[in-house]
Amino acid sequence: MFADIVPSLKRNMPDLRGRLLPNQSLAELTWFRVGGPAQVLFMPEDEADLAYFLEHLPAEIPVTVIGLGSNLIVRDGGVPGVVIRLGRGFNEVKVESASRVRAGTAVPDVKVSRAAQEAAIAGLAFFRGIPGAVGGALRMNGGAYGRETKDALIEARGVDRAGRVRVFSNGDMHYTYRHCGAPEDIIFTGALFQGAPGDPVAIAAEMDKITESREATQPIKSRTGGSTFKNPPGHKAWQLIDAAGCRGFKIGDAQVSQMHCNFLINLGSASAADIETLGETVRKRVKENSGTELEWEIKRIGVAKPA
């Protein structure tokens, strides 16, 4: 449990509209279903409320934003400071022209792909396979099946730590593979995507193919965080992990997936420490076996539980 700082924050922010909750469990907000609480969980009503909050939040209080938690390990000791989760107020998706879709950052990626398909916009079907929301896709440069967020983004909006609203062009995002070079403090609030006029039947077929392929090759019904490590240049992470003998390897209730060995799974009662230790052990074995150092793709937030 963290000290309850909500009353003092509220005193500082009389016009705040969103909800502030002390010591709020985060495990249910992540795919892995592990981890401790947020010292404070804040759910802003809209972008103006988020900006007001950040402007009035004392500078020494750390801020972490989470999306749908599909690429996250929350450590067992929880997350000090404020964790922000966007919901209502950030969940509108709108077709803007024959080839453009605008979406709030709480919109699940799958809804972006569906809105595009219904409007006969091609080029956004890849979002069908990414189980996060738009904010996570912007930050992670999420991608699948040969396309990534960078290929579809026109611009993103966000709010910085001082509460200023900023707009980032595609170039301003400095995208590389599963990485966004926009300042770390930015909380994205919306995005404008560009596709191209297409055939809705063909787009629907492409989306169905993506669904089938994922069901056949990934443990998508498990408690997981998707690909654990980035593919090193010229290699597939899963092949290096397999070659190091780690397929199915377990620590506590955390396991390297038998189905796709770049996925780690919580079999039921794993702790965040079990999952992270399993990941670090895999990294060590791959390094010993192939000389390649795997880099975490999954984001790890918060602190370990005190011993």
- Please list the active-site residues: 178, 227, 297
Q: Which is nearer to ligand FAD, 174 or 287 (CB)?
A: 174
Q: Of residues 53-112, which lie at the interface with ligand FAD (CB under 6 A)?
A: 65-72, 86, 105
Q: Whose Cβ is closer to ligand FAD: residue 172's or residue 290's?
A: 172
Lookup: tokens for 149: 């967020």
Q: What's the burial of 15, exposed, middle or buried (CB within 10 Å: 0-12/13-18/19+)?
A: exposed
Task: Report d(CA 80, CA 141) in Å as an integer.
Answer: 26
* Site for ligand FAD contains 123 (CB under 6 A): no
DSSP string, 18-79: SEEEEEEE-GGGSSS----EEEEEEE-SSHHHHHHHHHHS-TTS-EEEESSSTTEEE-TT-E
Binding mask 172-191 for ligand FAD (x = CB under 6 A): ---------------xx---
Q: Could you tell me if residue 237 is left (phi over 0), alpha (psi between -120 and 50 degrees) or otherwise beta? A: alpha
Provide the β-strand partners of residue 133: 108
Please report whether residue 139 would count as binding ligand FAD according to CB under 6 A. yes
Q: Which is nearer to ligand FAD, 103 or 120 (CB)?
A: 103
Which of 20/210 has CB closer to ligand FAD? 210
Binding status of residue 133 toward ligand FAD by CB under 6 A: yes
Q: To the nearest 10°, report the CA torsion of 58, 77, 24, 18.
A: 30
Candidates 44, 89, 104, 143; binder of ligand FAD (CB under 6 A) is 143
Binding site for ligand FAD (CB under 6 A): 31, 65-72, 86, 105, 129-133, 135-137, 139-140, 142-144, 187-188, 218, 220, 224-226, 299
